[in-house]
């Protein structure tokens, strides 16, 4: 027995180390579908978030290989392109270069780790900056009226079949209800910021994740006691959910913050299909 326990501990640590290496360095492609009966055809959006300056292969080649020959109607990158304000935008520009070959529109938002200069560099390289006070963008015109918009666009949005609201920060249910009430068509919200918890434990879920924000971008619940083990408290930290009359997708992201490790929370990009009704 004296030998069994140390052996089991060693095997456990080695296994955790392997999964941490895999989840941090390898990107997976997730697939989700949402019924969108108002559309004339299926619309696809690739949801990406929280690169934090990470690289996956030379020039982000691993992500290009993961996507293969797939194309999308749009790509949304939800901010935190760089890890610190002083970091160069090169990995983010490399990612944009890869993703731009898979979609006619690549929209980006600003995260709390980004600078205005990074967003300017991405826009100069061809990205559409979806920031508060900026205009919306229309995609897939042959499918219907599908809009990509910031939480607070520069002007009132036109009527739409689908409105995709993009923000780095997840919103509270109360903020979502207020926003959905003035949003046209099917309401889809794309968020990032949480990293899916970054480190997860079996049965317990995410160890920690930042809390959601209200309609004004303020974080009403960021106290440590409320953000440890958030899924046990009913908080959505990743994936697709229906909340407050809307479809909400939170990306677990690509990079890391603080501890440079992911555990049982793989780096990911997500292909979202807005599925038109079959005739």
Lowest mean pLDDT, pick from 9-13, 132-136, 141-145, 253-257: 9-13
The whole-number pLDDT of residue 40 equals: 97
The whole-number average pLDDT for the span 226-236 is 88
Q: How sure is the predictor about 212, in pLDDT bands with cuts at 50, 70 and 90?
A: confident
Task: Let me know: does 52 contact 254? Beta carbons within 8 Å.
Answer: yes
Q: How sure is the predictor about 12, in pLDDT bands with cuts at 50, 70 and 90?
A: low
Q: How sure is the predictor about 210, in pLDDT bands with cuts at 50, 70 and 90?
A: confident
CA 15 – CA 13 distance, rounded (Å): 5
Q: How sure is the predictor about 225, in pLDDT bands with cuts at 50, 70 and 90?
A: low
| pLDDT over threshold 90, residue 216 | no
Please write the tens of the pLDDT for every residue from 73-89. Answer: 999 999 999 999 999 99
CA 99 – CA 66 distance, rounded (Å): 11
Token look-up 């508060």 returns 132
CA 104 – CA 171 distance, rounded (Å): 28
Task: Let me know: does 183 contact 248? Beta carbons within 8 Å.
Answer: no
Task: Let me know: does 80 contact 113? Beta carbons within 8 Å.
Answer: yes
The radius of gyration of the chain from alpha carbons, rounded to an integer in Å, stands at: 19
CA 65 – CA 49 distance, rounded (Å): 18
CATH topology of domain 4-275: Purple Acid Phosphatase; chain A, domain 2 (3.60.21)
72-103 in b/e form (b: 16+ CB < 10 A) is bbbbbbbbbbbbeeebebebbbbbbebbeebb
**269 bridge partner residues:** 29
Torsion of CA 139, 142, 143, 144, to 10 degrees: 80
Q: How sure is the predictor about 213, in pLDDT bands with cuts at 50, 70 and 90?
A: confident
CA 56 – CA 171 distance, rounded (Å): 29
Task: Tell me if residue 50 falls in helix, strand or coil.
Answer: coil
Q: Residue 2 belongs to what H/E stretch?
A: none
Please write the tens of the pLDDT for every residue from 97-154. Answer: 999 999 999 999 999 999 999 999 999 999 999 999 999 999 999 999 999 999 999 9
Q: How many CB atoms lie within 10 A of CB 250?
A: 26
């Amino acid at each position: 027995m004296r030998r069994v326990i140390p052996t089991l501990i060693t095997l456990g640590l080695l296994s955790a180390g392997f999964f941490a290496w895999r989840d941090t360095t390898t990107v997976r492609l997730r697939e989700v579908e949402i019924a969108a009966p108002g559309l004339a055809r299926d619309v696809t959006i690739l949801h990406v978030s929280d690169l934090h300056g990470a690289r996956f292969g030379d020039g982000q080649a691993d992500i290009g290989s993961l996507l293969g020959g797939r194309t999308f109607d749009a790509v949304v990158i939800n901010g935190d392109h760089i890890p610190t304000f002083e970091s160069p935008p090169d990995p983010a520009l490399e990612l944009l270069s890869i993703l731009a070959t898979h979609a006619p529109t690549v929209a980006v938002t600003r995260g709390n780790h980004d600078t205005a200069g990074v967003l300017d560099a991405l826009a100069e390289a061809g990205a559409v900056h979806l920031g508060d006070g900026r205009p919306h963008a229309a995609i897939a015109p042959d499918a219907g009226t599908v809009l990509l918009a910031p939480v607070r666009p520069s002007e009132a949005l036109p009527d739409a079949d689908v409105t995709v609201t993009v923000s780095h920060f997840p919103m509270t249910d109360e903020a979502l209800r207020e926003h959905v009430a003035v949003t046209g068509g099917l309401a889809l919200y794309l968020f990032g910021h949480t990293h899916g918890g970054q480190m997860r434990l079996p049965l317990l879920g995410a160890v920690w994740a930042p809390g959601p924000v209200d309609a004004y971008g303020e974080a009403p619940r960021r106290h440590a006691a409320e953000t440890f083990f958030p899924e046990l408290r009913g908080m959505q930290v990743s994936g697709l959910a229906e909340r407050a009359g809307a479809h909400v997708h939170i990306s677990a992201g690509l990079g890391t913050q603080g501890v440079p490790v992911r555990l049982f929370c793989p780096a990911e990009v997500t292909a979202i299909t807005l599925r038109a009704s079959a005739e």
